[in-house]
Structure formats: C-alpha cells, structure tokens
Amino acid sequence: MLALFDSGFGGLTVLKELAKALPNYNFAYLGDNARAPYGSRSFESIYRYTLEAVCYLFSLGCPLVILACNTASAKALRTIQQKDLPLMAPNNRVLGIIRPMAEEAGNFTKTGHIGILGTEGTINSGSYLMEIAKFWPDLHVEQEACPMLVPLVENGLLNHPATEMFIREYTQKILAKEPRIDTLVLACTHYPLLQHIFAKILPKNVKIVSQTSVIAQKTLEYLAKHPEIDSRIGKNLEKSGEIRFLTTDSAEFFERGANSFWGNPIKAKNVFLH
C-alpha cells in the first residue's frame, strides 16, 4: 500500500487526486483526527505524533509514507528522514509535500511575487521560504498564517459567512504586504475545500494554486524514478486498487466528517497510535 498521513481530513484532497492518477494502486490513509488540528501545536508534539503514525503505517507493510499535511511536512519530516528512518526502516521512504510544491512555485507567476497561505506551524517554520529559495532564488515570497481556516473546515463550515470573513481578512493582509502578488499558494491540504470562496473574493489577476495536482504529478515522477519502492507497493492489475481509511478518532466520526472531502460514503477503521 501507498500510505498518506494527515492530521485529520485534509489529506483526503491529496488522496483523491493521487487515487485518480494511480487507479490500480492500493492506498492506506491515516488521519490523526483525535489530535487534530496540528496547526498551532509545538514542534515536539507534531514530531512525536507524526513519527507514531509513520511507524504504524510501516507496520502495515507500506514502504512509502507521504505526509499529506504541510504542518507535519514542515515540522517533522526532516527529523524523521535524517534521524529515525536510517535506524527504523532504512529501505522505506517518507516524503513531504512542501518540497514538490516549492519546485513548481515559480512556474505560476508572471510578476515574480507569490503568497503562501498556511497554518501557523507551516508559516512560522519558514519551510516554504527555505525550499522556494533553493529552486527560485529570485522569486519574492510573502506568507500569511490563517489559523482559523482548518478548524472551520474540520467543523464543516464550508459556506459559512464566518469562513468568508476570515478568508477576506487573511487575503487582504497578504495582498497589502505586497500588491504585486499574482499567485496565492494554498499551502494547507484543507484549503482546496474553500477554493470557491477564495475565487469569489480575490481580484481577477490573482491566481489560486492548490497543491493536489502538483503532488499527484510529483508522486508519479518519484515512483517512475524509484522502481525499488514502486515494486513494493501493492497493485491490483485487473481492477481498481483498494483504499483503507484509518483514523485515530472513532470510525463513525471519520465516516461522517470525510463526506465533504471525499464525496462518496466510505468505511473507516479506528486505530490506536503510541
């Protein structure tokens, strides 16, 4: 199985795109719903929770875990890759979603000014600034933390006036910092569900870029370059792959909440991380 991990439901937006791109692959999705949101948590907590999830997904036999969460990618990925993986499972891989997005960041803008919107954890880590500077040293990047958006999405308030009010506030702030911004990257896996509000509010010259298709494309490229990992991910050659939905909260909670992210009814299983 190819594993995806997120603090809650947000990574389902990535899984949806990835399952479309790799229809014969088997997937495991784990949401740490019992401890979400991660956005304002400390480095130590996010690292510990993410490591527990990665260990659990490895124990299911997944050779590749994608942290389909910007906050976990920003705060836990590097330590897991450098410190834990070599000792724990040197033949397995853990990837994040910030670097692949950073690789593409400069392709979307004409003015050379882009904005990054994400959780407090993602923005304060400076990970996007660091990664983008490696690939696009001349690109001007502004950032804005949007702490209210994940709780609003997790509570299903996708069309609530309060959600629109906060999006107005965050986007006005970032555009006031740099009016030449022509591209806003939704650097949180929850935000694609709010894309309709961003589209309604933003001036027409500002493009919204969501990560999901970029991550799907980059994962395909990664698997093509790493047959040793690809061959260990289970596939169903004659029919569609299977998807296992796992959550640290109750199965019923996940099944109900996943609806607006996934669109179709699903069956989930509760798991215990330690």
- As annotated, the active-site residues are 69, 188
Residues 214-273 that bind ligand DGL (CB under 6 A): none
Write out the two tokens for 235.
């596939």
Distance between start and end Cα atoms, the chain: 21
CA distances from 29 to 19, 195, 198 (A): 11, 23, 27
Q: Which of 72, 29, 66 is closest to 48 using CA atoms?
A: 72
CA distances from 253 to 110, 211, 225, 247 (A): 43, 26, 38, 9
From residue 4 to residue 23, what is the string marking binding to ligand DGL with x (rule CB under 6 A)? Answer: --xxx-x-------------
Q: Please identify, using beta-carbon distances, which residue of 28 and 230 lies nearer to ligand DGL.
A: 28
CA distances from 153 to 98, 106, 189 (A): 21, 28, 11
Query: Least distance (Å) from ligand DGL to the CB of residue 8?
Result: 6
Query: Least distance (Å) from ligand DGL to the CB of residue 203?
Result: 25
Place of tokens 């983008």: 132
Residues 145-174 that bind ligand DGL (CB under 6 A): 150
The Cα 252–Cα 127 span in angstroms is 35
Query: Least distance (Å) from ligand DGL to the CB of residue 150?
Result: 4
Choose, by CB under 6 A, the member of 49, 50, 171, 190 that binds ligand DGL: 190
Q: Please identify, using beta-carbon distances, which residue of 69 and 95 lies nearer to ligand DGL.
A: 69
Query: Least distance (Å) from ligand DGL to the CB of residue 205?
Result: 26
The answer to whether 37 contacts ligand DGL (rule: CB under 6 A) is: yes
Residues at the contact surface with ligand DGL, assessed by CB under 6 A: 6-8, 10, 36-39, 69-71, 118-119, 122, 150, 188-190
